[in-house]
Amino acid sequence: MTLTFNPDRYATLLTQYQPKVIQTEAENEQALQQVEALMHRQPRTLEETALYELLVILIERFEQDYYAPGKAATPLSMLSFLMEQQQCQPSDLIVVLGSEELVTSILHQQQDLSVSQIRALGEFFNVDPNVFV
């Protein structure tokens, strides 16, 4: 038996999930949850597989633009990425940076990181300090 793609069923899925270009971390998280649900659905229909692949492409694009090191990355985006990856809370940075006010100021882009703070963050996250430059 050959499976055939059903455009009407796919249109229903698109209406249900409403995929779009991901702009924020919250939207990315929502898309990741949708992918997770589709990934574990067995058997998955051709239409669900098409939606799954579309969501993966949208997630990859967002994550490449948002998290990729390079000229698009900023010290703050790298700090945010490492905090998320290591499940680090702003309060965890107080011991590294010195005060809650300083942590808040840096995370709200009111103050740039100093060389000594960059070194301390590199040591704390066990990464090359240059990722924050």
pLDDT tens string 100-129: 999 999 999 899 999 999 999 999 988 888
Note whether 52 and 10 are within 8 A (CB): no
Residue pair 117/93 in contact (Cβ under 8 Å)? The answer is: no
Residue ranges of the chain with pLDDT lower than 50?
Answer: none
* AA identity, residue 4: T
62, 24 in Cβ contact below 8 A? Answer: no
- Give the domain 75-132 fold: 434 Repressor (Amino-terminal Domain) (1.10.260)
Residues 46, 85: contact at Cβ < 8 Å? no
**Taking the domains of the chain in order of start, what are their residue ranges?**
7-67, 75-132
